[in-house]
Amino acid sequence: MHISEGVLSAPILATGAVLTVAGVAVGLSKVDYERLPQVAVLSSVFFVASFIHVPIGPAAVHLVLNGICGLLLGWAAFPAILVGLSLQALLFQYGGITTLGVNTFNMAFPAVLFAFLFRSAISSKGRFIRGAAEFAVGAGSIALSGILVALCLAATGEAFTVAARAVVVVHVPVMIIEGILTVFAVEFVRKVRPQMLN
């Protein structure tokens, strides 16, 4: 789901950079010193998840786990995802430096938004409601990330319209997988360290 260098127009790159700087500033202001290890661990989980590829026909997509980052970190998902994407760009040339702002926003904003929208349902006593909300956060974060990537590509030019549509379609299986993984991960955290969900 990374957008590579040289694809996006300058206005899209600038907008993504500004929005990411704002998100990272808010995220850093909300992280206290005791939560830094949690942010670091989730940043590394996000980084490693990109190496788990799911083949879809001639292409391959990978896990993102941004929904889990959003649920466990809130606004701190912005700096955590920025660090993960920076390392991926520098070490493995996934995405790029100029697209770092756009890529970070496309993955972090949906995570924060869906975590906020479903926060109360995830605290529910009802197991079904809780599970459905956790699934919605995992799947919805990927869905919105895919839509944002598609919008960035479509806004750059008509030449990317087919690619924009393909981005959303090929990520449907990933949405389902991430929704299920989010349910298992959050329920595990709820049993072993419930204070992480506060």
Residue pair 1/106 in contact (Cβ under 8 Å)? The answer is yes
Q: Given a cut of 90, is residue 22 above it in pLDDT? A: yes
Q: Given a cut of 70, is residue 54 above it in pLDDT? A: no
Q: How far apart are CA 120 and CA 54, in angstroms?
A: 32
Confidence at residue 58, expressed as pLDDT on a 0 to 100 scale:
47
H-helix or E-strand containing 138? helix 127-156
Mean pLDDT of all residues in 160-168: 78
Tens of pLDDT, residue by residue over 62-111, are: 888 999 999 999 999 999 999 999 998 888 887 789 999 999 999 999 99
Residue pair 107/85 in contact (Cβ under 8 Å)? The answer is yes
Name the token pair of 37: 């290890």
Q: What angle do CA 167, 170, 171 make, to 5 degrees?
A: 85
Q: What is the pTM of this model?
A: 0.89
The separation between CA 74 and the C-alpha centre of its own chain, rounded to angstroms, equals: 12
Give Dmax over CA atoms of the chain in angstroms: 49
CB atoms within 10 A of CB 180: 15
Confidence at residue 194, expressed as pLDDT on a 0 to 100 scale:
84
Q: What angle do CA 119, 44, 75 make, to 5 degrees?
A: 35
Q: Give me the chain's average pLDDT, please.
A: 88
DSSP label at residue 198: -
Q: How far apart are CA 160 and CA 153, in angstroms?
A: 6
